A and B are shown apart, each in its own frame.
Chain A
Amino acid sequence: MSVLGSGIFKGMAVTLKNFVGSYFDKERLTTNEYAWQANDKLPERAGDYPKEEAEQLSDTTTVTQYSRNFPMLLHDAGEPMDTVRCVACQICERECPPQCIYIEKSTEKKERSGNKAQFYPATFDIDVSVCMSCQICVEVCPFDAIVMNSQFELSTPSRFGELLLRRDDLLKSNDYYYKIHPEEASARDKRIADEKAAKEAKKKAAEAAKKKAAEAKSKSEAEAKAKEEAEAASKPTEPSDTPPAESTATPSTEPPATPTTEPEKEGSAE
């Protein structure tokens, strides 16, 4: 057994070492506002943006690119409402665990640049005083329209008004997304491009198959018709109960469901 009190002195030696080390230790933790930046200053790229966006960037550059805070709506290059990706399918509204999203679908469809006409959100509100930053809305979105912002300086003196983010507050460009989450954004865009390519390849294959099927069908229809005519010729007096061959063929001539109905299908499974 050691001398009584030696344990305390050993502990004090540790605290002394830590105290001195806090000035000289290489591994010591220091307060550094832009710790992940090499040169301890605001990135210059923030200056390339309009004033408001630059302010947001200066806010988000103080956190790492992996950090997430509240959702935002993505739009591609161009006028925000012309290129917004959201089609107001309301999946995020339904899946949001704390129910903080409110969407109103537009009454008519609107042409998007490069895409076919879609609905757009007439209202898209997120109550950030309720949102718990869980990212479920990002995961369920089939259009990659909603992603997480990392802007965090949202404190406001009013309790309700400014914590309810409206559609126009939420709209952010894809460029901005690249600035705040570079790795995630490039991975996401790569995935979108891959999926698009895969879809086009599939479409081509489907078209080729359809063409083939149509040829085969017209052939078989012709055969059936010939057969029917032959039968009709052999039994002209008996009225046929069986529906004509054309009506059985009609459902298969309908094209397969378009990709835009995908989310609705998923919604109906709920």
Chain B
Amino acid sequence: MTVAAPNYELVQQDGLETSLLEVSMGPHHPSTHGVFRMDVKLDGETVVDLKPVFGYLHRNHEKLAENMSYLASMPFTDRLDYFNSMTNNWAYALAAEQLVEIEIPERAEYLRVIMSELTRLVNHVSLVGFFVNDLGALGTPLLYAFREREKILDLFEQASGARMMCNYFRFGGLRCDVPDGWLDRTREVVDRFPKFLDEYEKLLCENEIILSRTQGVGNLSKELAISAGITGPMLRASGVNYDIRKVDNYGIYERFKFRVPYSEGDVGDCYDRFMVRMLEMRESIGILRQALDGIENGPIMGNAGKVFKPQKSEAYGRVEAPKGELGFYLVADGTTQPYRYRVRPPSFINLTVLQDMCIGQQVADAVIILGSIDIVLGEVDR
């Protein structure tokens, strides 16, 4: 069977009408980081309009949590942003601890900070890997990142029993203490991490291809970032010095000395977002070292009682998750189940400016811009 080749000679060049091309990227496109769809309108290679479509991974998380006891939703929070189960646990525990007054023991507070900062390392290091993967650096940087991530996940497994779905935080403390020698192993991993970061920076930060493809791409102005409610590294890349660890001082963050990296310019392009995360990892290592020096033996669980049954009240607990402000809003009605349970997911709200950042860019850059936002669809759709 032969197929007739189109005869290009016949196409008339003059008076040819062009129209916008509508492309549906996703929901199974490898660049969309999960089941996420972008309805893109293209004029040649330029993006004219972009509509994000999500909801493919909706799991009814909030309504489920309203129909089960407070403790039983803790393992479900792991599955929101499955890269950062520890910070998700913390945000939920913070909200619930405001409903009833529980004193959290010192050791638990230190371990919470250690777990949270290790999570930040895991998230940022693999985000950078995925980001350059989207750029076309297939495999190598991502696998280097995963090699380091694996060491930290081993620590999580030893502490909590699971690599990713840790389910480690409890209202008033932690589920169990870390095993003997865990802190020494953590210190070893933390001490080796800067060496890896040096190597990683050498590999990526001066690479001309990465520079030319990220600088000036996907600009996000300070004003738009603030008015759209962007948080986390993305907001700091747009030049706003805002970090909930500094603003709220939740946990015991006021005891640690660390700087908040943010971009000084008002560009907020993909390169800024990439660099802010690279710098943040260095600061996390500083916090980890201070926490590992300061931690002492002691109990890890406050007196929370066997049944968690708060009085009629409401609470909002938020933490600086690696992706931005993660908040849990709880309304208690005096029973063992929350009356209202609401999650403020950072990647969902950070995704709202995708359209503004992508219009006028090349279609290949839309992929990078999406990668630089750092979304996890488990959290976007909930």
A contact set with B: CB distance below 8 Å: 2, 4-8, 10-11, 13-15, 18, 27, 29, 64, 66-68, 95-97, 132-136, 139, 148, 183, 266, 269-270
Closest to B336 in A: A270
Q: Judge whether B307 is part of the interface by a CB distance below 8 angstroms.
A: yes
Q: Judge whether B309 is part of the interface by a CB distance below 8 angstroms.
A: yes
Closest to A68 in B: B161
Closest to A181 in B: B161
Q: Which residues of B contact A183 (CB under 8 A)?
A: 179-180
Flag if B75 contacts A15 (CB, 8 Å). Answer: no
- Scoring B residues 152 to 196 as 1 if CB is less than 8 Å from chain A, else 0, what string do you get? 000001111110010100000001000110000000000010000
Chain B residues numbered 50-106 whose CB sits less than 8 Å from any CB in chain A: 68-69, 71-76, 78
Q: Judge whether B293 is part of the interface by a CB distance below 8 angstroms.
A: no
Q: Which residues of B contact A269 (CB under 8 A)?
A: 307, 309, 336
A-B pairs, 3 with minimum CB distance: A7-B206, A134-B75, A68-B161
Flag if B179 contacts A66 (CB, 8 Å). Answer: yes
CA distance A136 to B308 in the complex (A): 14
Are A136 and B71 CB-contacts (below 8 A) given A10-B206, A67-B162? yes
Flag if B72 contacts A10 (CB, 8 Å). Answer: no
Are A133 and B202 CB-contacts (below 8 A) given A8-B208, A8-B209? no
Flag if B71 contacts A7 (CB, 8 Å). Answer: no
Flag if B306 contacts A7 (CB, 8 Å). Answer: no
Flag if A5 contacts B208 (CB, 8 Å). Answer: yes
Chain B residues numbered 190-246 whose CB sits less than 8 Å from any CB in chain A: 192, 199, 202-204, 206-209, 211
Q: Which residues of A contact B69 (CB under 8 A)?
A: 95, 270
Flag if B203 contacts A66 (CB, 8 Å). Answer: no
CA distance A130 to B73 in the complex (A): 16
Min CB distance B62 to A, Å, is 14
Closest to A14 in B: B203
- Scoring B residues 263 to 292 as 1 if CB is less than 8 Å from chain A, else 0, what string do you get? 000000000000000000000000000000
CA distance A18 to B140 in the complex (A): 10
Flag if A66 contacts B202 (CB, 8 Å). Answer: no
Flag if A66 contacts B158 (CB, 8 Å). Answer: yes
In the complex, which of the residues B159, B161, B162, B208 contacts A4, with contact meaning CB atoms closer than 8 Å?
B208
Flag if A133 contacts B199 (CB, 8 Å). Answer: no
Q: Judge whether B250 is part of the interface by a CB distance below 8 angstroms.
A: no
Q: Judge whether B339 is part of the interface by a CB distance below 8 angstroms.
A: no
Flag if A97 contacts B68 (CB, 8 Å). Answer: yes
Q: Judge whether B150 is part of the interface by a CB distance below 8 angstroms.
A: yes
Min CB distance B309 to A, Å, is 7
Min CB distance A33 to B, Å, is 16
CA distance A15 to B202 in the complex (A): 10
Min CB distance B353 to A, Å, is 30
In the complex, which of the residues A5, A10, A67, A97 contacts B76, with contact meaning CB atoms closer than 8 Å?
A97
CA distance A2 to B71 in the complex (A): 57
Flag if B179 contacts A266 (CB, 8 Å). Answer: no
Besides the known contacts A18-B144, A95-B71, 4 further A-B residue pairs in the complex with CB atoms under 8 A apart: A6-B206, A10-B203, A66-B159, A134-B165
